[in-house]
């Protein structure tokens, strides 16, 4: 038991050497700050520094003048820069006609002046004092300062006593024939893009032509609001429909028509096989699956030969 206790307080030669070195390093670290003390300023220098910091600073400009250093105290502070205040002159002005020199007299910076001149050169015009708010580079403080001096002259009316005033009549939009128009013509309509234009043309080809403008509204993906918007610009002038001979067409040919589903096509073929050839398209009404509404839509595309 006694030997175990002594093991905790017995060190080898290497361990004792390490402990001595560690103690020496700690002593050096504790003594170092006494040899490298930070220089402090006198109470007079500290008071003067506080006064400089509290003094109001003049506005900064691109041109600076450095205050000369008269003593070692100045070297203790950062360089202090000064700038003369801008000399501004306020006077009544029209922002539509004021040149760069006038803007500078009003105290506006070069960047804002270039923005305004570019706006005027592109055809822009300030119709009232509030329009100056469009200039995002114009500071609100400058706008409030200039607002009482803005005088915008009303544009002189263009009037020639020798000639009557010219009346501009808006050209009505062109009317489109739904059976003759291509995709480019449909794209010119409001709300119609390339996809809808292609769908309208494909729908027309599958039907065999349009016999009514209302059929445009049946195009897949065409909103009713868009159809109501373009309907006044549509007409069904030339109607030449491609018709199907119901006495010779098989079920596969009949199913290709958008108005005829597979069950209707099969019913037409079975009715023809049971009752013989059709004498007129009106006999399609004898088929139970063909409702009056469907018959009214599809009869224009049916024929017998």
Per residue in 91-113, is it b (16+ CB within 10 Å) or e — as a string? eebebbebeeebbebbebeeebb
- Domain residues of the chain, as ranges? 2-35, 43-82, 100-149, 176-235, 244-303
pTM across the whole model: 0.46
Domains 176-235 and 244-303 belong to one CATH topology: yes
CATH of domain 176-235: 1.10.150.320
pLDDT band at 149 (very low <50, low <70, confident <90, very high): confident
Mean pLDDT of the chain: 80
Looking up tokens 């013509």 gives: 185
Contact 234, 256 (CB under 8 A): no
Q: What is the pLDDT of residues 191-223, one digit of tens each?
A: 999 999 999 999 999 999 999 999 999 999 999
The H-or-E segment that residue 227 falls in is helix 224-230
Structure tokens at 9: 């307080």
Q: How many CA atoms does the CB half-sphere of 293 hold within 13 Å? A: 0
| pLDDT above 70: residue 16 | yes
For the stretch 224-246, pLDDT in tens is: 999 999 999 999 987 889 999 99
Neighbouring C-beta atoms of residue 90, cutoff 10 Å? 12
Is CATH 1.10.150.310 the classification given to domain 244-303? Answer: yes
């Amino acid at each position: 038991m006694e030997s175990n206790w002594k093991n905790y307080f017995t060190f080898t030669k290497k361990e004792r050497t390490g402990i001595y070195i560690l103690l020496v390093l700690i002593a050096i670290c504790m003594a170092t700050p006494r040899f490298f003390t930070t220089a402090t300023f006198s109470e007079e220098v500290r008071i003067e520094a506080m006064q400089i910091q509290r003094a109001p600073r003049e506005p900064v400009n691109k041109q600076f003048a450095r205050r000369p250093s008269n003593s070692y105290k100045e070297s203790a502070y950062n360089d202090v820069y000064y700038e003369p205040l801008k000399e501004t002159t306020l006077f009544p002005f029209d922002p539509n006609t004021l040149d760069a020199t006038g803007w500078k007299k009003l105290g506006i910076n070069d960047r804002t002046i270039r923005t305004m001149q570019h706006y005027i050169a592109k055809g822009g015009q300030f119709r009232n004092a509030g329009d100056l708010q469009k200039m995002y580079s114009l500071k609100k403080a400058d706008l409030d300062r200039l607002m009482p001096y803005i005088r915008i002259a009303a544009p002189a009316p263009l009037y020639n006593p020798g000639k009557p005033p010219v009346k501009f009549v808006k050209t009505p939009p062109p009317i489109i024939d739904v059976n003759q128009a291509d995709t480019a013509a449909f794209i010119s309509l409001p709300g119609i893009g390339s996809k809808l234009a292609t769908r309208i043309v494909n729908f027309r080809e599958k039907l065999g032509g349009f016999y009514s403008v209302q059929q445009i509204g049946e195009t897949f993906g065409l909103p009713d609001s868009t159809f109501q918007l373009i309907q006044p610009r549509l007409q069904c002038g030339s109607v030449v429909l491609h018709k199907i001979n119901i006495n010779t067409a098989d079920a596969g040919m009949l199913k290709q028509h958008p108005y005829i589903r597979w069950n209707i096509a099969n019913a037409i073929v079975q009715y023809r096989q049971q009752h013989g050839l059709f004498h007129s398209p009106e006999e399609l009404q004898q088929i139970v699956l063909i409702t009056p509404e469907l018959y009214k839509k599809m009869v224009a595309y049916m024929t017998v030969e």
